[in-house]
Amino acid sequence: MTHLVRLDHVSKDYREGDEPRHVLRDVTAGFGVGERVAIQGRSGSGKTTLLNLLSGIDSPSSGQVFFGDVIVSALSERERTLLRRDRIGQVFQFFNLIPTLSVVENVRLPAELCGTPRREASGRALELLDRVGLADRQADFPDRLSGGEQQRVAIARALVHSPKLLLADEPTGNLDDVTGQAVMELLLGLTHEAGGTLLLVTHSDQVAALADRVLSIESGRLVPQPSA
């Protein structure tokens, strides 16, 4: 399998007061092109830290993070920002929609930031809003939408610039089970159609079961979990 992103002997430490905290320990792992992987683990185990390392938001204490052949941790801060802008999409637990922008403006924003002309970005945004069942809400503002609707807008926004890598951090954490399942199936389906790689952090075994494989962070290590 061709790896889109991989970690090579990555460790991540923080300091809490005078005490070191070892979050990740010598993690080596690869994530294939088009693969959908769920990441689980107890609260504070390092799941979000793992996503931040892969996106270049954070840097490892030791080891290297690769995006293709590029060493992410060797890039400048600006280069890492451009990598996230152009090639990575993100979906968050708390949606993170911009309240002063309409639904369609929220969705098309990442494409415009990548330099896509507004007409083309709007067309792509409307196409994705139609796919998530919200084409008729394009002119509304986020506060007029339910939690499930806001998350569907966030998924459309994350995919509008056709990212190679999609990172989702507890995307169903604020949704009820039925809505969360529907949102998750939509996220997996759209990512699969786009041929992107999805890394999903979730506490839900039901959500994790929809992925191609499941990994758990245990004592700083990334441990494969058996198939259901």
Assign residue 49 the CATH number of its domain: 3.40.50.300
At residue 109's C-alpha, the angle toward residues 124 and 51, to 5°, is 100
Asked, for residue 194, whether it belongs to a domain, the answer is yes
d(CA 167, CA 210): 16
Asked, for residue 145, whether it belongs to a domain, the answer is no
Domain count, the chain: 1
**pTM listed for this prediction:** 0.91
Residue-range definition of the domain harbouring residue 180: 3-99+164-224
Along the 228 residues of the chain, how does pLDDT read in single tens digits? Answer: 689 999 999 999 988 777 888 899 999 999 999 999 999 998 888 999 999 999 999 999 999 999 999 999 899 999 999 999 999 999 988 889 999 999 999 999 999 999 999 999 999 999 999 989 999 999 999 999 999 999 999 999 999 998 999 999 988 888 888 888 888 888 888 888 888 999 999 988 888 888 999 999 999 999 998 755
Asked, for residue 87, whether it belongs to a domain, the answer is yes
Asked, for residue 86, whether it belongs to a domain, the answer is yes
**What count of other Cβ atoms lies within 10 Å of the Cβ of residue 10?**
24
Asked, for residue 84, whether it belongs to a domain, the answer is yes
Asked, for residue 131, whether it belongs to a domain, the answer is no
With beta carbons less than 8 A apart as the criterion, state whether 103 and 113 touch: no
Asked, for residue 149, whether it belongs to a domain, the answer is no
Asked, for residue 44, whether it belongs to a domain, the answer is yes
